[in-house]
Amino acid sequence: MENRNRNTAIVLIVAGLFILIQHYFSFFTIAALSFIALGVYKIRSSPDKIGYGILIVGIIVLFSGNFAFILSIVLISLGLFYMKSKQAHRDDSFTQKHSLLESFKRDKEPWELKNMSMWNVVGEIYMDMSLVILDQKETTIVVQGGLGDVDIIVPEFIGVSVNASALVGQIKAGSEKETGLVNKVVWQSPNYETCDQKVKILISYLVGDIDIKLV
């Protein structure tokens, strides 16, 4: 199982890199990346609607004129997902799923949380862990994809470790916040080491709005 996942990951990454090298830059790609860079700069200097508007225009131009570019990024992301899932979960006792569109919401009634890995091109994730039922002392969640909106509510009785990254977007975890380009936040709740029940959260999106709240 481990060798098969590793081989699949390598094949996907190599295929993605090959497509990326063969069809890398065009006028539209350079223009789109310029808009994205300008949008990120505007957001960092003075967060307002103009910066986000420029960023969205750049992303639309990049996606509309560069199918090969998008496909290569998707393949590389999926390959990295397989590798990260195996590294995060030390055995095979975890749920793994991948989809183009994902809407994962757990906020209405008690729900059971187990080791899991999710990959999606576009994802909307909402988890209220105050309603969660944990059947093990330490649980690991891996969420990865292209474009994602992630909101996770964590109660005081659960210790949380967060490792979140987004190429473009915003990450908030506890008192930590990163906005703009190439964002990464590594954070632990104050009670993580002493808590009986722990959750490790690994999140990675190309474009993401990630919010981890303590209640």
Tell me the pLDDT tens digit for each residue of 64-107.
Answer: 665 666 666 666 666 665 666 565 555 556 577 777 777 888 88
What is the value of pTM for the model shown? 0.63
Are the CB atoms for 207 and 150 separated by under 8 Å? Answer: no
Tokens of 17: 């890199």
pLDDT of residue 33: 73
Q: ∠ CA(122), CA(136), CA(176), 5° rounding?
A: 50
pLDDT of residue 115: 86
Angle between helices 49-65 and 67-88 (to 10 degrees): 100
Beta strand extents in 72-137 (DSSP E only): 95-106, 111-113, 116-128, 132-134
Cβ neighbours of residue 62 closer than 8 Å, sequence gap 6 or more: 28, 29, 32, 33, 36, 69, 70
Residue ranges of the chain whose pLDDT lies below 70? 1-30, 40, 43-49, 63-94
